[in-house]
Chains A and B, each alone.
Chain A
């Protein structure tokens, strides 16, 4: 018997959809009681906990955040950095989308203007997007502001490090959340693995983010047959490509037309301009957008040179405007149609990106292609991509490159995450029309109710619901607001009225601990 094998749950618990207190006690599992747990520990958990502390008036004793991250921004910052947003670079987010400030005022623009004694950012917000590009905050400012707010609300007191395995219903109401703590080590370093512990709570909040990186079949096949070095997902650390290209000229095939592709292009172009590289860029668009497009005159999005342009991840009105209002009551096929209307990969219009690409086209080292990669092979020291082109359906083109950077994103499928899959199998959860978890307007997971207990789901897993912008800073705040209002209606926390809102804002402004 391997003494370092992970202690697992007793089979009776593994298979049961509902656990009783006595069954859990009988299994010898340590039980902690807390009214609410938040599973995930990323920005989704942070924003919700921040709202619960400020608006709901809950104390750190009332909440536990079960997470694999010591800092809520860790995974976000990692993905942003490897996808080529430098520390001082700007993310794709609105000035008043502040995950550290539930009011969004003062905005990041005001903060930057006051700190740097420069009115530029505020003036940019005044004239955006008509006379200037949208103002967007710097990555490091977002991270620093999250750290400040974490200290203010006592985030570390609520944080428990470990890996959440399952959430199961409790006989009599509420839930058991099984966590394998991180602190006792892992079999790899020779220490005994930690025994699971259970958090018994009335409510559970889930914000587990994206289950992983998306590796399209052609990319996976290449990596299985050849290497992980020449063909990468842009969300992987792929600095070696930029370093190699600075040492000798080469060709890069960039796939994708979203914000990450834009950032990768910026890095490649900057390295040419400042680092002396002589990289040739082939840019592959699956859907080449040549012009302004849309189903009718009141739904037309700007497009040009292959790209579809949009300021942020969604049209702005999902965050409270008429798109949010319209989708609030849409069901089934109607909701799917509304999602289809706003779907499609987009990137923001940034004038300096336009200037860079115009120059690259003129000088002939940037070429856009339209098609889908049928296969990737390694031939004579280069990656060869066979392109199936929509304009010439019977002729595949062969494209040679030294590297392929795939910017097609992250996996959103809920069954790829073990906790979400378990909720579908044992927790009564169902899927929405787009295949993710079916939540109601208050982000309660339908079918997972248990007595007085509720499971709330926010972030990417709730995409496809009545509110589309779930996986954004503002979307997480909107969801948190709905959750806290729901808890207040259920009389498990305080209602947040105007006077208390003002008082709490003054505390935030002065940095007063709560």
Chain B
């Protein structure tokens, strides 16, 4: 991918809303979570929102790091492996119930499954199918607006 800063942020928010949110709604009942269903949804949706909000900061950092690359591109692999630092940060905050809206610390297994599933789904869509629907997207640095 060859994103611009605004393209990065727009793409992240769009894919989390269009792919991440429905996927979260579908998988939440299947995750190894205890408690009533509204609390389970609250936990997974807070994680999703954290990935979106913290992600804006991450994108600023990625954009800065990208400036050292001559091509000013963001290889496919980078889009995949950044799940590690991002997942770790959300987990560190969530396991200490430091994410606004969380009523209890996150469960590791449920968090890991949910986070990785959403990440993989959005990454896969960004690396192909997105172009099928939004044919101008790849030539505009990931901008949708």
Contacts and interface: CB of A to CB of B under 8 A. Distances in A.
A481 B139 contact: yes
B130 to A, nearest CB: 9
A297 B68 contact: yes
A5 interface: no
B71 A317 contact: yes
B72 A302 contact: no
Contacts of A325: 4, 141
A131 B77 contact: yes
Nearest to A106: B128
Interface string A91-128: 00000100000111111000000000000000001111
B135 A55 contact: yes
Nearest to A496: B135
A320 B2 contact: yes
Contact of B133 (A317, A477, A502): A502
Contacts of B72: 315-317, 321-323
Contact of A301 (B70, B129, B132): B70
Contacts of B131: 96, 103-105
A50 to B, nearest CB: 12
B136 interface: yes
Report the contact-size class of chain A (Cβ under 8 Å from the partner).
35 or more
Interface string B111-131: 000000000000000001101
A127 B70 contact: no
B5 to A, nearest CB: 8
Given A320-B2, A321-B141, A128 B76 contact: yes
A327 to B, nearest CB: 12
Identify the interface centre among B77, B135, B141: most chain A CB within 10 Å of its CB: B135
Contacts of A481: 135-136, 139
Interface in A420-464: none
A501 interface: yes
B4 A316 contact: no
A294 B75 CA distance: 22
Given A320-B139, A496-B135, A310 B71 contact: yes
A105 B132 contact: yes
B73 interface: yes
Identify the interface centre among B70, B131, B133: most chain A CB within 10 Å of its CB: B70
A254 B132 CA distance: 44
B70 A300 contact: yes
B73 A316 contact: yes
A291 to B, nearest CB: 13
B139 A501 contact: no
A52 to B, nearest CB: 14
Interface string A316-353: 11011111110000000000000000000000000000
A126 B73 CA distance: 14
Interface of B: 2-5, 67-68, 70-73, 75-78, 80, 128-129, 131-136, 138-141
Interface of A: 55, 96, 102-107, 125-131, 294, 297-302, 310-311, 315-317, 319-325, 477-478, 481, 485, 496, 498, 501-502, 505
30 contacts: A55-B135, A103-B132, A104-B138, A105-B128, A107-B128, A126-B76, A126-B77, A126-B80, A128-B76, A128-B77, A129-B75, A130-B77, A294-B70, A297-B68, A298-B68, A310-B70, A315-B70, A315-B71, A315-B72, A316-B73, A320-B138, A320-B139, A320-B140, A321-B2, A321-B4, A322-B5, A325-B4, A481-B136, A501-B132, A502-B132
